[in-house]
Amino acid sequence: MSFRAALHTALLALVLASLLQAQVFNVPVSEWGPEDEIGAANRLTPQKVLDASKLITTGKTYRLGIPIDSSTPAFPPRSMTITIVMPNQEGGETLSESLGSYVDDLYNGWLGIGTQLDSLAHFGFNRTFYNRREARDFVEVTGVTKMGIEKIPPIVTRGVLLDMAKQKGKTQLVEGEIISSDDIEAAQQAQGVKIEEGDVVVLHTGWLPMLYTNGTRFATGWPGIDVGAAEYLAGLKVVAVGADTMGVEVAPPPNITRLFESHQVLLTANGIYILETLDTRELIKDGVKEFLFVLGQPLITGTVQAIINPVAIC
């Protein structure tokens, strides 16, 4: 059974299991207080930026986002289209005596497509989200009133890239292949780097090329972290966790009736952001292990996800 098919089958099981899960999963009050809306972004400091800036030795920049279009595989039922228009210029009309012409575009689609940022309002546990906020108190059709994308400050900090494919002796991991906390520790030791508080951790699995060779396979399963790895990274007090896959955490999961538990660990319990479908290929090609990570997401009020293009500077 594919992950996509298993997802639909598991939804009912998840509802039935929620009562059991409620006994073991605790959504804590934020360490930054009951009014906090930005979670681990509180760990971003001017000193962290200054320290990370010292990693720049060549000035080379890398875009970590991927181009997207209507054919880009996305988590169902997400889709998007672009419509190009030249308003009030039908029949060759131009603007004033200057004969100006302009082109506009209309975007119609979901914001969780391609390289994306998951806010703390994106995923919860039993309709309870980060800092024990209940969905009924902040989720509105016109936008969330708490923890929206616009609340997140610029994320400028040290980025750590771990080559998990190389760590496992491969060029590409496969769908369902788990990255454990032991794997992450071993990769740090092998690369001579150490994850520190306030870092953005990026995992390279080699999966992204599958997007361009077999989009269906890319989107129906991928390698990624398990719950233990999510808890380990949360314990290191990172700001965000990203990967070159569509979901960061492994799919299908070891237990198909318990979906996206690592999202709950990172987003819901610890306020740690998730960065999906990052393009790590050039960084890996150049042997980059750490870098200055820069992200200024679009500030669309009340949204819970954003299409982004983070930048790595080395």
pLDDT digits (tens, 9 = 90+) for 9-47: 444 344 334 434 444 568 999 999 999 999 999 999 999
How far is residue 313's CA from residue 272's CA, in Å, rounded to a whole number? 22
pLDDT in tens, 134-167: 999 999 999 999 999 999 999 999 999 999 999 9
User: Domain limits of the chain?
Assistant: 3-313
pLDDT in tens, 235-294: 999 999 999 999 999 999 999 889 999 999 999 999 999 999 999 999 999 999 999 999
Question: For residues 226 and 220, is the Cβ–Cβ distance under 8 A?
Answer: no
pLDDT, residue 5, reads 55
Mean pLDDT of 93-106: 94
pLDDT in tens, 66-77: 999 999 999 999
Residue 8, pLDDT above cutoff 70: no
Residue 2 — very low, low, confident or very high, per pLDDT cuts 50/70/90?
Answer: low
Q: How far is CA 116 from CA 27, 227, 232, in A?
A: 24, 21, 23
Q: Give me the chain's average pLDDT, please.
A: 93
pLDDT, residue 90, reads 87
How far is residue 23's CA from residue 250's CA, in Å, rounded to a whole number? 24
How far is residue 162's CA from residue 183's CA, in Å, rounded to a whole number? 10
Q: What is the CATH number of domain 3-313?
A: 3.50.30.50
pLDDT, residue 25, reads 67
Q: Can you give the pTM of this predicted structure?
A: 0.91
| 98 three-class SS | coil
Whether the link from the prior residue into 223 is cis, omega within 30° of 0, is no
312 conformational bin, left if phi > 0, alpha if psi -120 to 50, beta if neither: beta
pLDDT, residue 12, reads 39
pLDDT, residue 91, reads 87
The phi and psi torsions of 235 (rounded to 5 degrees) equal -65, -25
b (16+ CB within 10 A) / e for 89-100 = eeeeeeeeeeee
pLDDT, residue 192, reads 98
H helix or E strand, kind and range, residue 129: strand 128-129
Of the candidates 263, 284, 277, which has an alpha carbon nearest to the alpha carbon of residue 308? 277
Query: Within 10 A of 113 (CB to CB), how many other CB atoms are there?
Result: 23
pLDDT, residue 59, reads 98
Residue 196, pLDDT above cutoff 70: yes
For the chain, first and last CA: distance in Å?
A: 42
